[in-house]
Each structure stands twice: as structure tokens, then as C-alpha cells.
Amino acid sequence: MSDFRVTIGSLKGLQFVNVYVKEVRYRYWNAKKLGLEINAIDNPALLKSAFEIKLLEGWRPTIKKNLEKKPILYIREVIQKSVLQICNSDYSDTYKRDCRRVLKLWEEYESENIGRKLTIKELRINHFEMFLKQQRWSFSTQRIIKSTLSPLLREWKESALKNIKIKKVASNLHKPLPNITEVFRELKDYNENLYLACLLTYSCLLRPHIECRLLKWSDVNLEKGFISLSGKQNKSGRNRIVPLTERVKAELTLRVGEQDEYVLSRTKKPYNTSYLSTLWSRYRHQSNKVGSEHTLYSFRHHGAIQVFEKTGSLLKLQQVMGHSDMKVSLTYLRGLEVKQLQVEDLPGF
């Protein structure tokens, strides 16, 4: 018994040929597939006979492929997938935390403003604008969230994000601390943990809230005189080695602990994220040696000035600051009171 049959059909007065192979129908209006110049509009019977002959000779139509439905991609799931990849990769803990935060903020935005999950296909540039330009966020926060969200979307909608302009924040001029020797003397009497954190921030240029607070004794080599931070422990995501000054070595030697203990807390559990901020706020309010414009980061700024003025090397500054790119260091210097020219360096005649 034949596995095919051929009939003549009609649609809106126009005739064509139906070819059934194993009960799968193929519709033809001409014999181009057979390499013949026969049209159904001219002679449907001849077209039918041509297909019957070819089928008897062994010709078969190209098997139809079922078009697989593409799965619906939701923007939330795309971000989730990217965040998961980042969290399972060798990025810094700070960057991982920022990515998880952006995912949570996007989920809140969808729930409060859309009422459902948005698909990639539905996504428009105005959705990004509404998300990023929320009044509760400063321009600085908006820019940070945008820069974090952009790589999470990769090829999907990253280009749309680039077209969104966010107002630039006027950079602040970070002033160095006046009478830093007196400030340190006062800090040592006030609180030894705050003193050590400020000393590490100033002398080793560590970031106070992450790198100082989470510093373990396993990161410190007193014998060789350096601190070694892995990519997961600093913002740039790169391994970083910082030499210790004699003063820092002396202070650390007085409180050496177990390898798995944190330097500041002296236990296997670090202080909470607001610990140093709270200490600094209390100290600043009772001191007449620092002003309201000074923060814990002022020690890092002051230290950066010292390094650059001593070495004149942007490369050395980049390395000791732990910046991922020299452009970051250059931008950083623009906000500092760094004396880069002497009077005699200016042109004259």
C-alpha cells in the first residue's frame, strides 16, 4: 500500500495540489520543487500527475520541522541568571552584594509599578528610566545602580541602558585632615579599634568598612611586613599586596590573634557593617580636631596625597590604592588637594 496520495484542492477559487505523505499534508501551487515549469493555475491535473510520477520514482517532500516555541524570557530571570554566575565566580564580595541588591530592587520595581514580571520582548527604555530615576535615590545612587545593572543584562538590553542619561554629581573636594598627628594621638586615647582602623586606612590605604573591618590575621604577614588581600576581599576584584609601615607593624604585633580571627573584633566573627561608622560619628562629635566634612575615608584620601606627592607616580598610587584602572586613580586625584606644580614650573619670560 502506498504511503502517499495526491489530490487537487481549491482556495478562494484558486486550485493547488495536496501531497499527503504518511498523512502529513504538503501544499503546492507549482512544480518548482520537482524542477518543472508547471503551474496549478494553468493545469492542475497535469501538476497532480507530475507529483504522482515523482512520488512513484521515490521523491519525497522535505520533512516539515516542528517549530519549537521559544521560551518566554523574563527580565527578572535574566538578571537572576547573571547574578548567580557572578556569585559563583571570582568577583569581590562587595560586587556580589551590589548585584544581589540590584536584583532585589528590580523585583520591587516590577511588583510596585508593573504588577507582574516583564518579558524581554515587552521591555522598553522607559521601564529602565522609571526604575533608575526614582526620587528616593540620589543621582550618585542612580549612577551606581545603572553601572551595576548594565553588565547583568549583557547582550539583551545593555545598549538601551547606555542611552539613559543621568545627571552627573558635582565632585566633592576631599580635604586632607589637619594636624593628623594630633588626630591619631586623640584617636588612640578614644578607642583602640577606631585608632587601628584609621591607621590601616591611612598608612595601608585600606578601605575602612570592608577591607579593614573584614581583615583577618591570615591576611597579615608580620614577619615579611605586608598585608595580602585576595580579589574577593577588595573592590577591584584583583589580588592586592600592601606593605606595612613600622608603626602599623608595632600596633598589630601588640594584638596578634589566631589565623581565622578578625583583626578588629579579635574573634571569628566580624563587627557589623555600621560599627566603624558609629564609632567615628561619636568621636567626631566630641572632638575639635576634625570637622563635619571629614569621614573615615578622609584618612585614605590623606594617605593617597602622601603617596602621590612622595612618588609622583600614578602607577604606584593605583597599585597601593587597589584601583582596577589607572583612570580611576586619575579621577580620584582630581578630587584631592594635590599640589602638582611648583611656582617655578609655570612658564615665564
CB 201 within 8 A of CB 212: yes
What residues does 39 pair with on adjacent strands?
A: 30
Model pTM greater than 0.85?
no
Distances (CA, A) of 14 to 8, 11, 41, 43, 236: 10, 5, 7, 11, 70
Give residue for cell 507529483.
51
How does pLDDT run across 248-274, given as a tens digit for each residue?
A: 999 999 989 899 999 999 999 999 888
pLDDT mean over 297-316: 80
CA angle 29, 34, 35 (to 5 degrees): 105
Select the more confidently predicted residue: 88 or 306.
88
CA angle 313, 317, 318 (to 5 degrees): 115
* Number of other CB atoms surrounding residue 9 within 10 Å: 14
CB 287 within 8 A of CB 186: yes
Give dist(CA 314, CA 90) in Å, integer: 27
Give dist(CA 281, CA 248) in Å, integer: 23
pLDDT of 236 reads: 56
Give dist(CA 99, CA 105) in Å, integer: 10
**247 is written with which cell numbers?**
608603626
How does pLDDT run across 122-181, given as a tens digit for each residue?
A: 878 888 888 888 888 888 888 888 888 888 887 665 556 666 777 765 555 556 777 889
